[in-house]
Amino acid sequence: MFELTLLCPEERVDAVSEAFDALDALSVSVEDADAQTEAEQALFGEPGMPAPRQAWSSSRITALFATQAAAQEAASLLAAQDFFAGCEVAGIAFVAEQDWVRLTQSQFDPVRITPEFWIVPSWHEPPAGAVQTIRLDPGMAFGTGTHPTTRMCLRWIAQRGASGGQALGRVLDYGCGSGILAIGAAKFGGEPIDAVDIDPAAVQATGDNARANGVQLHAGLPEQAQGPYQTVLANILATPLKVLAPLLCAHVAPGGHLVLAGILERQAEELQQAYAPWLQLSVADSEDGWILMTAHR
Ligand SMILES: C[S@@+](CC[C@H](N)C(=O)[O-])C[C@H]1O[C@@H](n2cnc3c(N)ncnc32)[C@H](O)[C@@H]1O
């Protein structure tokens, strides 16, 4: 196969990507042309905030074609279009045939939460020393153990769960995504467990992942969360966490714990203020600029 690479300003990315589709490209990908440099830009937004931009000021578009002739023809056709103004062809390169599935899988190793607790992709053997594991495949949905916010929640669950007895008690995982936190809580003795999400696809994935891990939990929409819980976990983002403050606090049982993630270091104070009418939040962990905030009733 052959890949054709273009450099385009942000406003040209949509038109060029659509043209590649019309030219029967096998795949099209867009990256930051300034990645790994000082000018690299992060593109992300929070729910309720303005939509994130769709491309970078300087974007690198790569399209894959079955033959060199098809890649060259696509480059010539595009170069003749008005919407190509400001774009340039960076090159056409041969791409060796690969076993893409194996290559992708080889890039995802088990993720260590503690020396004994690991997230292990289904195609991997658990590492030596793994006493507790969650089997989940990376890249399928958010919450597969590779993000610092998820890892910090799982570390908290492992520490609390290891403190003996029924330490986690009844658990609520609010914004469960793949169900990873609920499954982790089940593995460390939490019971019963409600895992809820506004996204029905997440509810479905949570049920499937729980079965694959041999644990019992109840996955559903947010209305399913009812009454007091010994442990309330929510890894969402600062803005929705502030909106959810009264609801989440109302679910924390006397003597129970609230565990919040998805918060940047600089957002600690605004979260503390938002939760102050009900609970006193403090920073319990941090990783890569993200913090874990917890409170005890
Ligand atoms: C960052 S993911 C966290 C997934 C997983 N719990 C983890 O720790 O990796 C956040 C999840 O919260 C869900 N979510 C966002 N806002 C929500 C809300 N207001 N109520 C319930 N779920 C919400 C999203 O659909 C998404 O699945």
Torsion of CA 234, 236, 240, 246, to 10 degrees: 0
> Do the domain assignments include residue 170?
yes
156, 81: one domain: no
- The pLDDT, as a whole number, for residue 40 is 64
Helices 13-22 + 68-79 axis angle, to 10 = 140
Altogether, the residues listed in the chain come to a count of: 297
Going from the Cα of 251 to the center of ligand 1, the distance in angstroms, rounded, reads 17
155, 292: one domain: yes
Q: Strand pairing of 290-296 and 252-264? A: antiparallel
Look at ligand 1, atom 20, and give the residue with the nearest C-alpha: 198
CATH of the domain at 60: 3.30.70
- Please state the rounded mean pLDDT for residues 65-94: 94
Q: Strand pairing of 282-287 and 252-264? A: unpaired
**Whole-number Cα distances in Å, 156 to 34, 162, 207:** 37, 10, 23
Per DSSP, 13 falls in state H
Domain of residue 87, residue span:
2-38+48-94
Say yes or no to pLDDT of 22 above 60.
yes
| Residue 141 vs residue 276, higher pLDDT | 276
Say yes or no to pLDDT of 143 above 80.
no
CATH of the domain at 283: 3.40.50.150
- What are residue 69's phi and psi, to 5 degrees? -60, -40
> Do the domain assignments include residue 106?
no
Ligand 1 atom with least separation from CA of 153: 8
> Do the domain assignments include residue 112?
no
Q: CA torsion sign, 271 to 275 to 280 to 284?
A: negative
> Do the domain assignments include residue 102?
no
Q: State which of 197, 235, 259, 293 you would mutate to test the pocket of ligand 1, scoring each by most atoms of that ligand within 8 A of its C-beta.
A: 197
144, 57: one domain: no
- Residue 194 annotated in ligand binding: no
Are 33 and 56 a contacting pair, CB within 8 Å? yes
> Do the domain assignments include residue 105?
no
Look at ligand 1, atom 12, and give the residue with the nearest C-alpha: 175
89, 152: one domain: no
- Please state the rounded mean pLDDT for residues 216-236: 97
Say yes or no to pLDDT of 44 above 60.
no
Alpha helices in the chain (DSSP H): 13-22, 68-79, 100-106, 148-161, 180-187, 200-212, 238-243, 245-250, 268-275
Whole-angstrom Cα Rg for the chain: 23
- The pLDDT, as a whole number, for residue 166 is 83
Going from the Cα of 240 to the center of ligand 1, the distance in angstroms, rounded, reads 9
Give me the percent of the chain exceeding a pLDDT of 90: 70
Which residues have C-beta within 8 Å of that of residue 151, sequence separation ≥ 6?
111, 113, 145, 287
Q: What is the DSSP string of 216-239?
A: --EEE-GGG--S-EEEEEEES-HH
> Exposed e or buried b for every residue in 50-85, given b needs 16+ CB within 10 A?
eeeeebbebbbbbbbbeeeebbeebbeebeeeeebe
Q: How many CA atoms lie within 13 A of 281 on its CB side?
A: 28
Tens digits of residue pLDDT in 237-251 = 999 999 999 999 999
- The pLDDT, as a whole number, for residue 162 is 84
- The pLDDT, as a whole number, for residue 135 is 92
> Do the domain assignments include residue 65?
yes
> Do the domain assignments include residue 120?
no
Going from the Cα of 235 to the center of ligand 1, the distance in angstroms, rounded, reads 6
Report how many domains make up the chain.
2
Tens digits of residue pLDDT in 152-209 = 999 999 999 988 768 999 999 999 999 999 999 999 999 999 999 999 989 998 999 9
Q: Nearest to residue 274, comparing CAs of 246, 235, 247? A: 246
